[in-house]
Structure 1
Amino acid sequence: LGTIYNAFNLFTYEEVAIKVDVPDETFHEPCALPHEAKIYHVLQGHRGFPSIQWHGDDRKASIMVMEQLGPTLNQLRRFCRGRFSMKTICMLSLQMVYRNFWRITQIESAHLQGMLVRDIEPSNCAMGTGVHRNVVYLFDFGVSKLYVDPTTGRHISLREGRSEVGTPRYASHNTHFGRDTFMLYDIEAFGITLLFFSPMDACVGRVCTPQASMPSCDASVK
């Protein structure tokens, strides 16, 4: 939700991204950007999340100024003619899911803060810029929510008959049955995203093509 603009900070001489969200008066839906800004502030300082420089309102619009990121994984996939090599897919999974002794992953960072991402998909993952150009960033937390009750510190109760959230193509199959989300669903959504990058991606609605006929290239992921 919202519209993204590229901008230039006249004080710091750096490129920034500006996200603008206006409430939908037709359906009487409020802006989701204030909620998203709160999520970003909680995640500030953690690796793989863009920094927020300012957030506020201008008349009816809600505005957030944030760190400029590089191309999304979906853009890189198109640049690589529809697929990543297995090496790139493995490096993505190592960075986003696998934890080692000196670094926790982006998805785990969100979970440790008591939050569920709930919309992991190629267009919501982007590479950094400059010295962070090999780091994958997660962004767009408009539908994210807490899974830990802040008053009790316990996991919220899981319910049935819930509305589907996130991008249906990459969502956990449990969300299609109206089941409430929890941490495992984020991991499952990222796994489906990785399958989308491979030639064998019929499970996410694409036709498998013989690997030999599909050109590939490595993305800059380490």
Structure 2
Amino acid sequence: VTNLAGGEEIMVKFEHAGVTSTLKHKFTVPHQLAGMDSISQTFWFGEEVGSNAIVPNQLGPSLEQVFSNYNHIFSPPTITEIVEQLVCQIDKLTLNNADLNISLIVSEISPSNILIGHDQCAHLIYLIDFSHAAEYHHPKTHLHHCFHEQLPFIGTPVFVSINSHIGHKLARQDNIKSLTYIMIHFWHGSLLND
């Protein structure tokens, strides 16, 4: 779609307005994280013609697309740079960050949900898809949310922890487990369970 105000190409995502809005969550969470490096921002969310719509920031390709373009081979320095950036991002998301006043379990960390920056930010990677991100403790009391079982599966099967597969409520460690699977995927070209 072309932005009539500026003439640049923009992306618009739609969903039926009658369903529970994952797009609204994808809009709300990044706005709560505004100011944090490497979190993709969204410009607008609203309802148009019976559909929810969101206009996200334009970024480059996903790490999975780049990995495929390079015949599933990344150099050790490239993997190290990716992991360093992701560890910093996950650390900021999962710690009680006083600046952001939010602490999240992302649930959807996979190479397809990590995009490369655009233009001057091409050296940065960005986490996207916060549709199932959840706070692990109450923002005011800092009490952890209760453990739950028999929850629906969320995530990309090969990159989520066993807790997601067996229906347990995810914890901070599950973000790190997903990151570990991504690192192995890039190091070996695939995972054993691909």
Shorter-chain TM range is 0.7 to 0.9
Q: Percent identity?
A: 27
TM-score (norm 2): 0.88
Mapped pair 1:52 → 2:46: no
Q: Is the 8 A contact 1:170 1:204 kept in 2?
A: no
Which residue is equivalent to 1:4?
none
Q: Counterpart of 2:157 in 1: which secondary structure?
A: coil
> Superposition pairs for residues 144-155 of structure 1, below 5 Å?
144-155=133-144
- Which consecutive residues of structure 1, in runs of 5 or more, have no partner in the other structure? 1-6, 98-104, 206-222
Q: Counterpart of 2:159 in 1: which secondary structure?
A: coil
Which residue is equivalent to 2:52?
62
Q: Offset of 1:132 from its aligned partner?
A: 0.4
Mapped pair 1:16 → 2:10: yes
Q: Offset of 1:53 from its aligned partner?
A: 1.3
TM-score (norm 1): 0.78
Cα 1:15/1:108, change in 2 over 3 Å:
farther
Which residue is equivalent to 2:127?
138
Which residue is equivalent to 2:93?
110
Cα 1:202/1:145, change in 2 over 3 Å:
closer
Distance 1:114 1:202 in 2: 29
Cα 1:202/1:106, change in 2 over 3 Å:
closer
In the alignment, which of 15, 20, 23 is matched to residue 33 of structure 1? 23
The superposition leaves residues 81-107 of structure 1 with CA deviations (integer Å, 9 ceiling, x where unpaired) of 12212221111111111xxxxxxx222
Q: Is the 8 A contact 1:172 1:185 kept in 2?
A: yes
Query: Greater CA deviation, 80-89 or 117-126?
Result: 80-89
Q: Offset of 1:13 from its aligned partner?
A: 4.3
In the alignment, which of 160, 165, 168 is matched to residue 157 of structure 2? 168
Which residue is equivalent to 1:86?
76
Q: Is the 8 A contact 2:2 2:10 kept in 1?
A: yes
Q: Counterpart of 1:153 in 2: which secondary structure?
A: coil
Q: Offset of 1:123 from its aligned partner?
A: 0.6
The superposition leaves residues 99-151 of structure 1 with CA deviations (integer Å, 9 ceiling, x where unpaired) of xxxxxx22223223222110100110000101101100000111111112135
Distance 1:196 1:45 in 2: 30
Distance 1:51 1:13 in 2: 20
